[in-house]
Each structure stands twice: as C-alpha cells, then as structure tokens.
A and B are shown apart, each in its own frame.
Chain A
Amino acid sequence: MEKLEETQGSAEEEFTTFEDIFALALANTEHFRFKADSDKWHKVLYEVCEKYRDKIPQLGVIFFEERPPLPPQSNEFYQLITTLSMSGLISLPNPNYEYIVMEGTQKERARELEGKRLDKYKDYIRKITELLDDRLAVEG
C-alpha cells in the first residue's frame, strides 16, 4: 500500500488550523469544565486574535462581525465548537449546555493528536491556556 504519509509528505505537520491551537490550549488547562456562554467565548477569541494573529498564522482566518452591544461575533467560534465536538475532544452535556467539558481522556487525546506539530507556538499557546483558565474555566 502506498502509505498516506508518503504521498502527503509533511502535509499533515503543515496543516494545522485554529481548531488545533484551541484544542491544545484547552487540553493544557488545569480545568475540565468551561463556561459554554458564547459571549464569553467570543470575547476570549477576539482577544486571542488581537494579541496573537501576527504570531500564529492559523488565527488569520478568524473574522468577526461587530454589532454592539454584542461582543464581536465570529462564525469560526461555532466552527471551533462543532469541530471539537465532532472530534470527540469536548462534550456538550445535556440538557442545559451550561458547560463545555474536556475530560482527562479527551485532554490526553488532544495532546496526542496535536503532538509536536504545534511546538513552535508553544509559548503563545501557553498564554492562550492561561486566558482560557482565567476567563472560561469553572472550578470543580
């Protein structure tokens, strides 16, 4: 069999998206539960993009609609939650959807999935992790 990695060369290492950045940043937090409130997420996403867009090119595809008094809203936020849910890396427990959950095993999977391919951004990802811990994490 012609191995995929042979035909793809280093494409797998090269093709990381903003979803990978946030998957790893979430996995590196100390917490397992995060507020599901989309306003709070949008604020964090906006802040992350403002601070690190020049450093992390994957954030360059995130755009925002500004409609005060709403925080700037981004289609990519919904894409992020769908992608992480679809990948089994987070759960949206019913019925109230108060929290987004990333359990220990999911965190391990996310770290394994992202591996070393995001190593060059590790300092920035650490800062995003701190932001997620500070703004969105829920104790317990």
Chain B
Amino acid sequence: MDSEKAFAQLKGEVDEWVARIMLDDYPKTPMPGKNETKVIREAVTGYQVLQPHEYLVLDSPLLQRLRYIHQTALAYLVYPTANHTRFDHSLGCAKIAQQLGEKVIPRNKKRIAELRLAALLHDVGHTFFSHLSETIMQSRFRDLYIAVKKAQQFKGRDLDLAEIISYLIVKSAPFHAFLDKVVHYYHDFRKLDLDNVAQLIIRAPVDEFAFMGDIISGPFDADKLDYLVRDCHFCGIRADVDVERVLVSAALLDRKRFPSSRPEWSERYLVMKSGGVSILEQITFNRMLLYPAIYHHHKVRAIECMIRAIFETIWEDPDRITDKHLKFENICDFYRLTDFQFLAAVEAEPQLRPIIEKLMKRDLFKRCLVISLPYLEQPGKFMDLYKKSSEDYPEKLYRLRKTIWAELPKDKRGSLHELWVDIPKPPTSIAKDPDSAWIDIGTRKMLRLRDFFPYPEWVTSYEVNKWKGHVFSISDPSTRRAVNDAAKRVFKEKPYYLEFYERATKECKIPS
C-alpha cells in the first residue's frame, strides 16, 4: 500500500469524524473573559489553573469523550478502583508538562502554554478500552497502519496508532479552526504555534525547542510520570515515582558544551542531573513491575481475550450484526464509541450477548495452562510461538486455537471464541528508555542512563524470566481440565515440540 495514499485515506477518515463530532456552535458565544480562569483538582497531581482557551478545549466534545475511556481498559474488573480515565490522565500530564517546562524554560510562557496544550491533547486519539482497542485496530488494519507509519510526515518516528490519530485530530481542519479561534481570542496566547503543538504529540517539535518533544514523550516524560503514579494509585499498588525529585533534577544542556557536537544535533537536550539517576531507576523498575501486576496480569489478559472474542465474532459474520457501527469496517468506526457505549451496543446484539453477559457478571475466562520459559521442560521451537504475539498477529494464533479445540472431547467443544492462546508482546520501550535518557555529570561528555548500569539487558533478562502467556477457556473446571490436556498434547507435537513442567498446570488452580 502506498504510504502517502494511506496517509491521505486515514486523514480523510479522521477529518470526517472530527467534523461530525465537533459541534458547529461550540464554543458558544460570548466567550469567557481572559481573566476567567478555572481551578480544577484531581486526585493525583492536585490543583491546577486552567486558562480559558484550555478549558474551552477540555470542554469540547473531543476531549470530553476521554472521560468515558478508562486508562487501563477493563482492569477495574481486577482492581476495583482502577476507574481512572484518559481525561484525568490528560489533566495530570498537562500539570507535569507545565512543571517540567517551568523548570527548564521558566520565562518562556508561550512554549510552556504549548506544552500544556500538547499534553492535554496527546491522548485524544484513544478510543474505547485505550491500548486494547488500539492493538486490535493495529492488527486488523495492519497494512494501512504500517503504510501510514512510513508516510513522509512521520519519517524518523515510530508511532503507535493512537499517537498518529491524536496528531491527525489536532491537524484536522475542523479542530484546527476551533483551536485557532479560541487561542486567537485571548491576546496572551495568540502567538501559540499550533503546528508545534501537533508536532510535539509525535515527538517532532519544530525549531530549536526540539527538547520539548522529550517532555511530552521521552525517557522521563510527563506522560510516563503521570500514568505510573496514577495506575499505581488507582490500582492500589504500593509503588510510586517521586515526581518532585524528577522536577528537581531535570535540566537543559546546551550542545555547545560538547566539543564533538555536530550540526545535526539539537541545540539543547533535556537531561537528568547525576543526582537524579536513582529516580530514573525507580521509573524503569516500577514500569517493569507494573507489567506482571497490571498490564500482563492473567485476569487482565483473560478480559482482553473476551473483548477480542467479541471482535472475532463480529468480523466472522458481520451480516449478523444489526448495528452498522458495530461492524468496525474502518478505523474511525472505533471512534464512534466510548467504553460504556461499546458495552451497551454489544449487549444489544444477540450474537454477542453471551460473551458480554459473562463479562458483566465477571464470569471471566480462566487459565488452563501457563506458557513461560521457566515452566518448559522442553523449550522446543518456543520462538515460533512467542513471536506470534496476540497484539500483532492474532490471526496466526487462530489456527493453533482451532487445533486445540479440535483435540478436545466432543462434549467439551464449545465455541472457538471461548478458547484462547494469549501471547503478550514484550514491553520493549522499558529497555529502550535507559538507552536514550541523558545524564549530566558535569563533564564534557554526554552519558546515558545505560552507562551507569546495563539496564536494557537487565530488563531483557527480567522479561525472559517473568513473561507469561496463557491458554484460557471458560470457567467450567471440567472444560479447563480438558483444554489443559488438549493444549499440552498439541504443543508437544510439530511444529512447537514444547513440554511443560507440572507447575504450568498447577499455577492455574483448576478445581479437581
């Protein structure tokens, strides 16, 4: 697929959707006066003052929908208080971006205001269930997504789909016109560079302020500093990040200090003073710990498989789905719905109701077999399985599921949508960040976090030992036992040749 055509296609879809969702009469006149600021308080980052142009953006239908998109998708079915949303996170992110901006460019009100806007808007490209639907879209529309990533606008960037959509929304004609209108109404902010705001979202800010990209998306960015604290807080996990310490130790470094600098280098870099190394360690380790605790938690993954089962059912026979918006024929169809709208729409479809009823009653899929390197007596051709991640290649796991299903006794063969092999994708960015986080030790040589400790390799080793995939099925114990038996037999044969230790079954706690 031609990348520029793909870009134009997606841009067209996004423009059309934004035009539909942005109300013609918004913002209503008269506009608030320039001194009519608002104060908002949220649980993690506390109070912040919103300028009129900011709360007009925040009150727009595009941002308001983020109130109904949970940050950690359906993890609240595992951690009951994980009800925080993309809206809360965007606010927190804006405050931390502002604080980082005030630390490194304290007098530049214009750039700080751009940072706040970019932070408020950085997740506007998310839709229901956040990263879960994002990965479903990325695999369903893979050719389009890969082609768009290669477009000239995104050269030198490796962007997720939600980042691309956020950028396209901010650049879309209707939203850009709205932003332009509200920003220009207020004299103090009329010089804001809205193109730079969009570029910040894709880590490609213009001019000598390139380091601003790292504040929005970098090794210790506002996004990470907010979501790490927020996810821990709302999931009740006793891990934390000392954001204040980051703010104390963050600094700007001029390239002129380095005799080896070259013209293609940026003018200035966002760095951490050497006293802040331990806080970067805290960020790295906590991110790593959150994977088994939340993002790759077996129940969270089981819930994700149930949502995937809904999409599989829809796409298997779209003609049986009565709600045309639920057919998800293109990317922007996903953007018509928020979390609860999706659940309600699915519940209204007879074909989909059985799965959603299970989900709502919290009768979740359960583990039948744990797939993990330390649990394998014979690793066989494990790589052939591991590389078929559920996020990137769900279709490659379909045939494997079908084979396990066919191996079940006939009375245990329910729907194939109720049998899943889940292979989580490793979180590669945790290893990448220490490779790119600059540390200032006061010499004429730039160091990186990795120069203090081999974090990337350490993270890789952690991942190798802690990663777990699963075979899931419905909760009925006899079905789970049958699936366990069938899966082990299938994995033992060509092409995988995997043999499991007893603990791979024991850990599933299948009632006898």
Contact = CB atoms under 8 A, between A and B. Distances in A.
A4 B383 contact: no
B49 to A, nearest CB: 33
A89 interface: yes
A88 B385 CA distance: 13
Nearest to B263: A68
B400 A86 contact: no
Interface in A82-122: 82-89, 92, 94, 96-97, 113
Interface residues of A, number: 48
A59 to B, nearest CB: 12
A4 B457 CA distance: 35
Contacts of A11: 396, 399
B489 interface: yes
A132 B15 CA distance: 45
Given A11-B399, A63-B158, A87-B379, A68 B461 contact: no
B460 A78 contact: yes
A5 B158 contact: no
B41 interface: no
A94 B454 CA distance: 10
A79 B261 CA distance: 30
Contacts of B464: 82, 85-86
Given A3-B493, A92-B461, A15 B396 contact: yes
A23 B158 contact: no
A64 B156 contact: yes
Interface residues of B, number: 53
A126 B441 CA distance: 43
Contacts of A60: 146
B157 A65 contact: yes
Given A1-B489, A38-B435, A86-B382, A78 B400 contact: no
Contacts of A67: 436
A81 interface: yes
A2 interface: yes
B301 to A, nearest CB: 17
Given A73-B436, A78-B432, A87-B386, A97 B454 contact: yes
Given A4-B490, A38-B456, A65-B203, A75 B399 contact: no
A122 B424 CA distance: 31
Contacts of B450: 38
B463 interface: yes
Interface stretch (B51-59, B358-366, B402-410): B402-410
B156 A17 contact: no
Interface in B125-172: 146, 149, 156-158
Nearest to B266: A68
Interface in B354-388: 373, 379, 381-384, 386-388
Contacts of A12: 384, 495
Nearest to A110: B383
B383 A19 contact: yes
A39 B436 CA distance: 10
A55 to B, nearest CB: 17
A88 B382 contact: yes
Given A5-B494, A12-B384, A69-B446, A85 B461 contact: yes
Contacts of B262: 68-69
Interface in B453-491: 454, 456-458, 460-461, 463-464, 467, 489-490
B266 A74 contact: no
Contacts of A94: 461
A122 B163 CA distance: 37
Contacts of B156: 64-66, 72
A10 to B, nearest CB: 11
Nearest to B400: A4
Contacts of B435: 38-39, 70, 73
B278 interface: no
Contacts of A4: 399-400, 403, 490, 493-496
Contacts of B399: 4, 7-8, 11
B495 A78 contact: no
Contact of B382 (A38, A63, A75, A87): A87
B158 A75 contact: yes
A86 B457 contact: no
Q: Count chain A CB atoms within 10 A of each CB in B373, B383, B388, B396 and give the residue with the most.
A: B383
A92 B146 contact: no
Contacts of A72: 156
Given A12-B495, A73-B436, A82 B426 contact: yes
B387 A73 contact: no
Interface string B382-398: 11101110000100100
Contacts of A131: none
Interface in B405-432: 406-407, 425-426, 428-429, 431-432
A2 B406 CA distance: 7
A56 interface: no
B339 to A, nearest CB: 28
A44 interface: no
- Max count, chain A CB within 10 A of own CB: residue among B264, B386, B460: B460
B432 A7 contact: no
Nearest to A94: B461
Nearest to A36: B457
Contacts of A8: 399-400, 403, 495
A-B complex: 5 closest residue pairs judged by Cβ atoms: A87-B383, A66-B156, A97-B457, A63-B158, A78-B428
Given A75-B158, A78-B429, A78-B431, 5 more contacts: A68-B266, A69-B446, A86-B373, A89-B383, A97-B454
20 contacts: A1-B407, A5-B495, A8-B399, A8-B400, A11-B399, A60-B146, A64-B156, A65-B203, A69-B265, A78-B431, A81-B460, A82-B426, A82-B463, A82-B464, A85-B460, A86-B382, A86-B467, A87-B382, A97-B454, A113-B384
